Each structure stands twice: as C-alpha cells, then as structure tokens.
Amino acid sequence: MSRYRGPRFKKICRLGALPGLTNKKPRAGSDLKNQSHSSKKSQYRIRLEEKQKLRFHYGLTERQLLKYVRIAGKAKGSTGQVLLQLLEMRLDNIIFRLGIASTIPQARQLVNHRHIFVNGGIVDIPSYRCKPRDIITAKDEQKSRAMIQNSLDSSPSEEVPKHLTLHPFQYKGLVNQIIDSKSVGLKINELLVVEYYSRQT
C-alpha cells in the first residue's frame, strides 16, 4: 500500500483529528456522528481504526508501519511506547513538532528538497532517526528560510514539546532527549495497534 495522497478532510472526519496529516479540525457534527456508531463497532474495526490513525498521522505506508512495529517488538520495554518513540523521533516528525513545518507531509518535502541540516550536514531522508543532542537547522538560503518562516508565523501558539527546543530567530531546533510518552502529539491507544498486528501474524 502506497502513501495516502487522497482527500485529507475525509480521513479526519472518519478518524478524528490528525494534526500531522492536516491542521484542519473535523466538524463537531461529524465527530458526534462517529460517536453514535461507536457502540456498533467490532473489536477488529476499533483496532484497525487506531492503526489507520497512526499510519495517516505520521504519513507512513503499511510496510513502513509494520517494520516499525517489528523493531519495537524486539526492543526492551512496552512495544506500544517504543513504537511511538520511534515514530516521534523521525526527522520529518521532529521538524513538524518544532513548528518548522505545519504538517508532516510539508516537513517531508523540506527534507526531500534538501532544506534541512542535521548536525551541520544535509539529511534528505525523512525517516532519519534523530537522537538526543542532534541540532536541526535550516539551509542558509533565503528560499529555505522563507518557507520555514511562513510555518513559524502560521502556528505561533503551538507549544514545542519538552524534549525539543526551538530557536526561531536562528531557524534552529535541538533534540534534548527521547520523547516521553505523555508528550506524543496524537491521542492514540498504541496497545490496540500492537494487538492489530499481533493478530495478523
């Protein structure tokens, strides 16, 4: 399954707010409609929807998400929490959480088009896994900085999570530590996602 490129509003009406996919919010009426049918949902459908929520928010293909679930399953600690940490520490997501891009697809575009440096070198792989003490900066070009300034201006009220530090005037972000599960930018029951994949095998 390839990356989703269809209408984004349709997805948030069905799955709820997906800040990484779009900064639009579902209408109150559509949300209530979903809640009224929630009692009729099967357990499989509930798990599937949580998995889809995770996939669309982070902009992953089915294969990529499955790969992350397998990596998380082999790591120490709760598989669900490790999975969220892996996804949150992706470069495209870090750029989004810093406010340098207004959505994860926009962050991915910045990385693909070589507008982003990590520790002084260009990184053009959106899935690059950031580590504590990484320094993320914009390319020192007017075009790169103008794009980032637009995003910073459009979301000035967004609070940068504690594991990151933003220096907006220097177009620079710092990764302070591995993210705490409470700071994840999506309301998700990650255990249902792990359950979904464990029942597929």
The pTM is what? 0.82
CATH code assigned to 8-86+186-200: 1.10.1050.10
Chain segment 165-175, per-residue pLDDT in tens? 999 899 999 99
For residue 187, what pLDDT is reported? 85
Chain segment 100-140, per-residue pLDDT in tens? 988 899 999 999 999 999 999 999 999 999 999 999 999 88
Which positions of the chain have pLDDT values less than 50? 1, 29-33, 35-38
CATH architecture of 90-177: Roll (3.10)
Distance, CA of 173 to CA of 76 (rounded, Å): 28
For the chain, the structural domain boundaries read 8-86+186-200, 90-177
Coil, helix or strand at residue 175: strand
Distance of CA 20 to the CA centre of its chain: 5
Exposure string of 52-72, with b = 16+ CB inside 10 Å and e = fewer, is bbbbbbbbbeeebbbebbeeb
Count of Cβ atoms closer than 10 Å to residue 195 Cβ? 19
